[in-house]
Amino acid sequence: MADIKQDTNNIPDLQSPFEQLREVDAEDKEWWNSRKLAQVTGMA
């Protein structure tokens, strides 16, 4: 029988909604858009 290698690293990375909305500018500074945050938190 041939050995079958399974790809065990096929689980997608999970990111929080806040991490998905994170922006990084040209100077590597992180920021979040307040309107997008309001939508995620249910405030809009």
Give the pLDDT of residue 2: 58
Give the pLDDT of residue 35: 94
pLDDT means over runs of 10, the chain (44 residues):
65 82 96 93 85
Give the pLDDT of residue 38: 93
Q: Is 34 left (phi over 0), alpha (psi -120 to 50) or beta?
A: alpha
Structure tokens at 34: 């307040």
Give the pLDDT of residue 17: 86
